[in-house]
Structure 1
């Protein structure tokens, strides 16, 4: 199967040089990533620009006090600005990728000339689903603008709401970005992290660390949470260190509960563990698909 090639980047690690795709499933996921991303840039002396669409500008500014940022003085001195897609991407009435790339280059240059340490931008991309002239060129823009951020003076988080964009659209836009923003873990301790994500445009769960008798119930609960989301579910085992038979059984039971027409795809599983799945007969579950690390490399 084809797999996503971009890396998942924790929000605290996003910095100058990064062009990051954020696919999110609910408002809390969006707010968690964006409020920290904006706050980190402001604390580092960067100029920050936000292009709102589904959220009103005042709503976005309302996220910041919870992370210790008073937006009023920052807006007054020009370090922070929140505007709308209609006044940014679509200011000319049509979307022109080359013009937008040029605008961002100008914003970077102006920020540095004003003495800021860099430039940080984020945009809600739902406007592209409206009947906007040029919206079909969004993937072209996302590819071209990589060159701006690769210069190492600025960063961006481009936001795609999975409730609005379909899996094929999410996958296509994700592939235009070198990195994806990591979402808040459903569970984490010293041995195990369970992180919601997107793979091939579908809802996914990254399993990082060790799933033993202590972690099986936690894994089952995380799978149950994600089963409530639409479409196929991917379980990415690329960062798994160990999983016992009870953990494998939790995967099988989750697949057995999938609604008709849906599948649970276990990807990047070590070949030895995939063999265990076959030996115990779990590969006979119609909704369960297992791809090894070798097969997905």
Structure 2
């Protein structure tokens, strides 16, 4: 998206800020729209200075959860959150940590109808962290190039949607996200109706992720003919690989 104006209930936006980019205008507009739509506002960190933010990932999740409950209790339409997460991500450079908590935030936003904008300063993060953050948000705001080309986000209570293209460029970020999701439930349901293409690197990551944890299974729903044929040609149709592709 070019601006934050179109955000709606349940949206989860990754805002990658480039060096020298002015964040004041979009941030003020996003907050001002709360009065127009009847939303409660929660600002965590200074989007203009990128110097403060949540104390920890857990405190962030707690604040957003409490905020959604308060917004509902006090009659607001929704909770509208602008959170500068640059320092959190920079303090722990493991993509797994970022993926785990951002996926939990995504599920929370979808379940409670909150609007979340997560701000990251590109210059303060490694390219791996930038890629990881972008891949696990359904929406992106920013003027610079963003990889990978896939998006993995919560579609409903027990299903996750994967869209775009999963190729060698985004395979590692995809693997990290899958690994975190597989820890949450014995069966990971992936909606693939909007998946354009998954190459051999992506399919290999999928197979290895499914085999990586005991008693876990992945189900791909609405897998197209190309995806099913590629899976078969790579020899992944095996009882040892707990992945089922469904039309």
TM (normalized to structure 1)? 0.44
- In structure 2, relative to structure 1, the CA distance for the partners of 1:96 and 1:128 (3 Å cut) is closer
Tell me the alpha carbon deviations over residues 232-290 of structure 1, each in whole angstroms, 9 at most, x when there is no partner: xxxxxxxxxxxxxxxxxxxxxxxxxxxxxxxxxxxxxxxxxxxxxxxxxxxxxxxxxxx
Aligned to 1:19: 12
- Aligned pairs (5 A) from 1:1-297: 8=1, 10-53=3-46, 55=48, 84-85=52-53, 89-90=54-55, 95-97=56-58, 100-128=60-88, 131=91, 137-151=97-111, 153-181=113-141, 183=142, 196-200=143-147
SS in 1 for 2:23: helix
- In structure 2, relative to structure 1, the CA distance for the partners of 1:20 and 1:107 (3 Å cut) is same
Tell me the alpha carbon deviations over residues 63-83 of structure 1, each in whole angstroms, 9 at most, x when there is no partner: xxxxxxxxxxxxxxxxxxxxx
Q: Is the 8 A contact 1:53 1:126 kept in 2?
A: no
Q: Is the 8 A contact 1:45 1:116 kept in 2?
A: yes
CA distance in 2, matches of 1:111, 1:141: 22
CA distance in 2, matches of 1:32, 1:24: 13
TM-superposed deviation, 1:113: 0.9
CA distance in 2, matches of 1:179, 1:36: 18
TM-superposed deviation, 1:197: 3.4
CA distance in 2, matches of 1:96, 1:39: 26
Tell me the alpha carbon deviations over residues 120-161 of structure 1, each in whole angstroms, 9 at most, x when there is no partner: 001111212554799972321101111111125210110011
CA distance in 2, matches of 1:54, 1:148: 22
SS in 2 for 1:12: coil
Q: How many residue pairs get matched?
A: 151
TM-superposed deviation, 1:9: 5.9
CA distance in 1, matches of 2:48, 2:102: 21
CA distance in 2, matches of 1:10, 1:41: 15
CA distance in 1, matches of 2:115, 2:128: 25
CA distance in 2, matches of 1:171, 1:111: 32
Report the RMSD for the aligned CA atoms in angstroms: 3.4
- In structure 2, relative to structure 1, the CA distance for the partners of 1:42 and 1:165 (3 Å cut) is farther
Tell me the alpha carbon deviations over residues 14-42 of structure 1, each in whole angstroms, 9 at most, x when there is no partner: 12110100002145442232222111123
CA distance in 2, matches of 1:96, 1:122: 14
Q: Which moved more, 1:119-128 or 1:48-57?
A: 48-57
> Which has the greater radius of gyration?
1
TM-superposed deviation, 1:102: 3.6
Residue ranges of structure 2 left out of the alignment (5+ in a row): 149-247
